[in-house]
Amino acid sequence: MRVVIQRVSQASVTIGEQKVAEITKGLLILVGIVSEDTNEDVEWLCQKIVKLRIFDDQMGMMNLSLQDIKGELLVVSQFTLHALTKKGNRPSYVKAANSEIAIPMYNNFKNRLASLLLREIQSGEFGADMKVALVNDGPVTITIDSHHKE
């Protein structure tokens, strides 16, 4: 699994003309899933995300986690995170998991994050044409790949 984590002051997802998710201070997580991903990848990433100390403390130092600030969370599936761009100019998405694998893994990811945070999280709709709007706070943007833990 690969995630792009963005610290935001606000973020939302719109499908068609309807806003389906919206948060204020917290994290926008874009998540890409490959066929090799397992529940171990989900658990490792979820633990990392909720404990990642990227919010400012009283001294302006990034010392606080999403848990510490009781921040909100918006999760959006994004298969393009696994684009292969080595050959030619058209990205290949062959590494991205098909929907039979990706949808249950995506739902597991969202449910585990909600469980760790002890609250509901916002999310986009898997496979939908979504418009994601955000105000990146900092900006702070971090990528993590569960297949590169070292």
CATH, residue 103: 3.50.80.10
Average pLDDT over the chain, rounded to an integer: 95
Rg (C-alpha) for the chain, rounded Å, is: 15
Angle between helices 99-117 and 39-51 (to 10 degrees): 40
91 part of a folded domain: yes
Give the separation between CA 91 and CA 86, rounded to whole angstroms: 8
Give the separation between CA 110 and CA 123, rounded to whole angstroms: 8
60 part of a folded domain: yes
Domain total in the chain: 1
Catalytic residues: 78-80
State mean pLDDT over 126-131. Answer: 95
Q: Is the pLDDT of residue 139 over 90?
A: yes
Tens digit of each residue's pLDDT (9 = 90 or more) over 72-100: 999 999 998 988 899 989 998 988 999 99
Amino acid letter, 5:
I
59 part of a folded domain: yes
State mean pLDDT over 104-109. Answer: 97
How many Cα atoms sit within 13 Å of 19 on the Cβ side? Answer: 7
pLDDT band at 13 (very low <50, low <70, confident <90, very high): very high
Tens digit of each residue's pLDDT (9 = 90 or more) over 23-80: 999 999 999 999 999 999 999 999 999 999 999 999 999 999 999 999 999 999 999 8
Q: Is the pLDDT of residue 150 over 90?
A: no
Q: Do 106 and 31 contact (CB within 8 A), yes or no?
A: yes
150 part of a folded domain: no
Q: What's the whole-model pTM score?
A: 0.94
89 part of a folded domain: yes
80 part of a folded domain: yes
78 part of a folded domain: yes
65 part of a folded domain: yes
> Residue 39's domain spans which residues?
2-145
pLDDT band at 149 (very low <50, low <70, confident <90, very high): confident
Contacts of 37 (CB under 8 A, 6+ apart): 1, 97, 101, 105, 146
